[in-house]
Amino acid sequence: MSGSLRHILSIDLGTSGPKAALVAETGAILATAHASVPTILLPEDGAEQDPREVWRAVCSACTSVLQAAHVPPAAIVGIICSSQYASVVPVDRSGEPVSNMVVWLDRRGAPKAMERYRARGYRPDSYYRKWRWLRIHGLLPLDSGQDGLAHIRWLQYARPEICEKTAYFLEPVDYLTMRFSGRATANHCTAFLTLLTDNRTQNQTAWHPALMRYAGIDAAKLPELISDRSIVGPVLPEVARELGLALGTPVITGVNDTQAAALACHAFQGAHAAIGVGTSSVMVTHVSFKKTDPFHSMYSMPSPVPGVRFAVAENGVAGKALEHFLERLVFAQDRFGNHAAEERFQLLDAAVGSVAPGSNGVIFLPWVDGAMAPVSDAHMRGGFLNISLQTSREDLARAVLEGVALSFRWLRDSTEHFARRPVSHYLYYGGGAMSDVWSQINADVLGAPVHQMKNPRYINCLGTALLAFERLGAIRFSDFPRLAPVRRICEPRAEHHARYEALFVQFKRIFKKNRGIFRDLNAIKRG
């Protein structure tokens, strides 16, 4: 039967590596694969990845998917990508990288860090420029330096030899699109955190000249800005041959991973919101207006759905905090011994399920790499609070899951205020949604039903595939809900929600009272 259907090859590049899926026009995911890409952590808060390794991992994942699916090449009618964003890949005119990708975790381009380059021409933006920037785009260059423009500026002033060899600065999704098609492009969705587009009207196809001037970026080093409805071109013949695709298979312009997940969770309509836990966490729903709430680090992001914008609250590290806990504390391999285990997450669910809500009084602070929404603070860090002699590893494990859930609870109020409506329920995706225990914890903490998506780790691949089918005229946006099924619904339990509401009060107090301590501790650490 699959041979008579049309299919999309969909790739989602996360911080930990790419995922690939072959998706049928029915929404069925026929085959999946993933690969890992290491992040290189450098002094002064640097974070990079090797783009060549990224492309090799993408090709490996795609090859595995196509071999497993047993679908004739002619039945694959398009290729589309999504990725983590606010990262930059400098490439030459052929699409070959000229240096490592600067990943969104990198803070070397923070305005304060960049002031050392004033002699080379860098200067902070004036208040007038900031006001106009905010009005035109919706976001200012971030104080943390974790936006695409900051990374471009850092390369321009700190690594001029790389900048000189660069033909285009690309977001990761646009880098993959260029590797597939040979054409350097971006659209208003993929270019959002480059901060150089006019978002007062949707689907802009030109970089804004005033913002370009303020940024001090050479327009010739940015890709062509195209419509988000565009087919970029046919897949390159050499790529088609390597992967086993038909010559001429269309490559469709993509979106970032938040937009991809919002599409699969049909968060462009209705009263619900999507929540995702991967390396980081996010809450997203829809609005009809351009808006920025700088006090709670919330903003409306462009979307590929006409007349709709996505209200986004990026919450910072989430799944990565759990991974850190499991790899460094529970299943560590170090001088204390080898405690590695294959089935870490199955063991986690069993251990956490034995602990009562509230983790016997232990609270986990999830800000292991700084806080984002609803209160941004790059100096915040994580930890466990209220440990006693009775505290067990099971308590600590549950506290990690509850800490991330409590950070979602903090986002709920800001999101509802921003969107001007209450949230009815939450569609849950990402690696965290594979855990039934974590899903129930989120429902209890949020006090609302949490719907676990089917194939939650590949929800971004599903979202972009559905977008590709819509762009090709095979489906409509109104079809998305029936093509993205829910596996399980977790209803909130009133007695547990009441306990979590009491913990939530303390959670916010802990944040506010410890900000100065973390700032001073990190100043001491830097020496």
pLDDT of residue 1: 39
Q: Which residues contact 312 (CB under 8 A, 6 or more apart)?
A: 258, 282, 283, 284, 298, 299, 300, 301
CA angle, residues 116, 118, 121, in degrees to nearest 5:
140
Q: In the chain, what is the greatest distance between 2 CA atoms, to the nearest angstrom?
A: 65
Instruction: Give the position of tokens 């471009």.
Output: 152
CA angle, residues 79, 171, 49, in degrees to nearest 5:
100
Is the full-model pTM beyond 0.85? yes
Would 248 be classed as within a structural domain?
no
Q: Which two tokens stand for residue 284?
A: 């997203």
Positions of the chain with pLDDT lower than 50, given as ranges? 1-2
Q: Which residues contact 482 (CB under 8 A, 6 or more apart)?
A: 27
Beta carbons of 278 and 432 less than 8 angstroms apart: yes
Q: Give the CATH number of the domain where residue 329 resides.
A: 3.30.420.40
Q: Which two tokens stand for residue 68?
A: 């497993």
Would 120 be classed as within a structural domain?
no
Q: Which two tokens stand for residue 424?
A: 């009815």
Q: Which two tokens stand for residue 224?
A: 């062509």
Q: Which two tokens stand for residue 106?
A: 């990198």
Q: Which of 300, 269, 285 is nearest to 200 (CA)?
A: 300
| Cis omega (within 30 of 0) for bond into 374 | yes
Would 182 be classed as within a structural domain?
no
Would 221 be classed as within a structural domain?
no
Cα 269 to chain centroid, rounded: 21
Tally of domains in the chain: 1
Q: Which of 49, 259, 89 is nearest to 177 (CA)?
A: 89
Would 372 be classed as within a structural domain?
yes
Distance, in Å, from the CA atom of 467 to the CA atom of 221, rounded to the nearest integer, reads: 28
Q: Which of 93, 475, 142, 421 is nearest to 267 (CA)?
A: 421
pLDDT of residue 512: 94
Q: Which residues contact 202 (CB under 8 A, 6 or more apart)?
A: 188, 302, 303, 306, 307, 309
Q: Which amino acid is at 461?
A: C
Would 499 be classed as within a structural domain?
yes
pLDDT of residue 81: 98
Would 346 be classed as within a structural domain?
yes
pLDDT of residue 379: 87
Would 521 be classed as within a structural domain?
yes
Task: Please spell the DSSP secondary structure of 318-366, one letter per residue.
Answer: SHHHHHHHIIIIIS-EETTEE---S-HHHHHHHHHTTS-TTGGG-EEE-
Q: Which two tokens stand for residue 402?
A: 């509850």
Write out the residue range of the structural domain in which residue 371 sits: 317-410+494-526
Q: Which amino acid is at 195?
A: L
236-258: per-residue pLDDT in tens? 999 999 999 999 999 999 999 99
pLDDT of residue 527: 66
Q: Which two tokens stand for residue 474?
A: 């095979």
pLDDT of residue 363: 97
Round to the nearest angstrom and report the end-to-end CA distance of the chain.
Answer: 64
Cα 165 to chain centroid, rounded: 29
